[in-house]
Chain A
């Protein structure tokens, strides 16, 4: 087992026992692994192929923990992974926006990519900004958004990560979406009136 793996194992174990700070220390390790994975995907497979967040998170887990990894630790891992994904995504979204504004060369490609492949870069940044405010009001709601939207986790996985029921996750998710939408003016226009 490489050093990163054993560190992750130890930290997950500590997180499970509720030791303070364990989750925070877990973050940079997971972050590095996810970034590395994302980068190698883009370099060695085909640049531009979309990455499936869940697949990435699961793969990172397998790589760090091995197939027989402590499955009970998965919830903490998901939480750290979702936060890491959020940071990676925001970093990239900011860069994409800079490129879009700066260089003509990239503009068309990025517009194509954005319209074909999912939410707009601007939306990702706007959600993240509003999410900061939501976190101050309701940490649990914000956590659900991170796991679902940034981590790409399913309702069940989110429930596992938060140690709660899928029903509660659904309730928090419904509320968080409504709140965020009411806070992001562009989101109201964009999704309003769609079929």
Chain B
């Protein structure tokens, strides 16, 4: 290619980028005339450009210079916090119990976001959301206190530490009956409603983000990780590779269609209502709406299709389909019999769950408090 042609290709390329797809063809046809080689060269680059948004955006350094991964451990510092122990690991990173090095003694949870995520963007977004997050003051919400970047460029969030157990596990371990489960769950709805009122959507409601702490003899559910899903997903945004999408998306089980980017509906309070529906389903039936193998090993496309199209069985049907010994165990964990549990599900809970998990947000409960209100009505029905 001559220098002249090379420069001509780039002039046409950049001029095309300023036009929309519909105008491009006509523009190039007019500019290139009979020169099909020129036209094809420009089109090839435009085509590459259209898919190249993530390509090369991450500098090469981490891949080649970073050695095998070695995460910090007990005693190490993350920002001004000394780590005490690792308490959890998830798709986004590791969670530690920690304490501030200076300032009042006390425990916090430090969530260290794994490498490869745009830390600068993450922290900038946190700063822009800090005020909104600070507005949330609720006994059932663990507050996000701080965010920062470690010396080696990984970002972290600092939250109120909750010594608790995931809601589902807590209920099963303590053999809580359906009524008590519903009461705890309604409290969680109240916490989410409060957050929604201040304009914060959780976006990642799932058992591991709803912990139950025991304060005295009281069981206090606390929603953790508020606002973090939004911050991290946005920062991951364009740098994430398709293959890594699964782990970054978190578990698809609790994800609404609009959140998976499948519909044009906006993510709003009803997105959390959907995830709450899935959580409640699991709390009642002991199983998620879809069988675990539904998503396992599936392509991202297939997962999206399921989220968009497939309607899970009603809770009572899912329960009825369990093997007798499994059903008996689920009932035992709720201090009831399979028959009684099945009846409770059919009387009001099936309908309530189906509504919360509607594909179309407009057909769901309009708010988390609406969901809580319907739960209260169902409790009366069941008690009768």
Contact = CB atoms under 8 A, between A and B. Distances in A.
B180 to A, nearest CB: 41
A52 B61 CA distance: 7
B63 A51 contact: no
A46 B59 CA distance: 21
A148 B58 CA distance: 9
Given A53-B59, A93-B63, A194-B241, A117 B115 contact: yes
A127 B52 CA distance: 14
Contact of B62 (A38, A42, A117, A150): A117
B55 A177 contact: yes
B49 A174 contact: yes
Contact of B65 (A38, A112, A179, A191): A38
Contact of B55 (A106, A117, A191): A191
B48 A119 contact: no
A195 interface: yes
B68 A85 contact: no
A109 interface: yes
Contacts of B67: 42, 47-48, 113
Interface stretch (B6-14, B158-166, B320-328, B345-353): B6-14
A150 B115 contact: no
B191 to A, nearest CB: 30
Interface residues of B, number: 47
Nearest to B70: A48
A150 B64 CA distance: 10
Contact of A192 (B51, B63, B65, B114): B51
Interface stretch (A1-9, A19-27, A63-71, A181-189): A181-189
Given A109-B68, A175-B45, A193-B242, A85 B61 contact: yes
A43 to B, nearest CB: 10
A110 to B, nearest CB: 7
B63 A194 contact: no
A182 B70 contact: no
Contacts of A129: none
A182 B72 CA distance: 40
Most buried by A among B14, B17, B45, B245: B45
Given A55-B153, A117-B62, A149-B59, A178 B69 contact: no
A50 B245 contact: no
Contacts of A73: none
Nearest to A85: B61
B258 to A, nearest CB: 14
A51 B56 contact: no
A48 B64 CA distance: 10
A177 B151 CA distance: 30
B152 interface: yes
A95 to B, nearest CB: 9
Contacts of B59: 53, 118, 148-152
B243 interface: yes
A110 B68 contact: yes
Nearest to A115: B244
B153 A195 contact: no
B52 A112 contact: no
Interface string B331-365: 00000000000000000000000000000000000
Nearest to A174: B49
A121 B64 CA distance: 6
Interface string A27-63: 0000000000010011001111111110110000000
A149 B151 CA distance: 21
A113 B49 contact: no
Contacts of A150: 59-61
B116 A182 contact: no
B63 A116 contact: no
Contacts of B52: 177-178, 181, 187, 191
A5 B8 CA distance: 44
B47 A182 contact: yes
A177 B56 contact: yes
B353 to A, nearest CB: 29
A53 B116 CA distance: 13
Given A137-B6, A149-B56, A171-B14, A112 B62 contact: no
6 contacts: A47-B67, A48-B70, A49-B66, A90-B64, A177-B48, A191-B241
Given A127-B56, A178-B49, 6 more contacts: A50-B61, A116-B115, A181-B52, A193-B51, A194-B53, A194-B241
Interface of A: 38, 41-42, 45-53, 55-56, 85-86, 88-90, 92-93, 96, 106, 109-110, 112-121, 123-124, 127, 137-138, 145, 148-152, 171, 174-175, 177-182, 187-188, 190-195
Can you list the 8 inter-chain pairs with the closest CB atoms, starting with the nearest? A118-B62, A109-B68, A182-B48, A48-B70, A152-B59, A178-B49, A50-B66, A49-B152
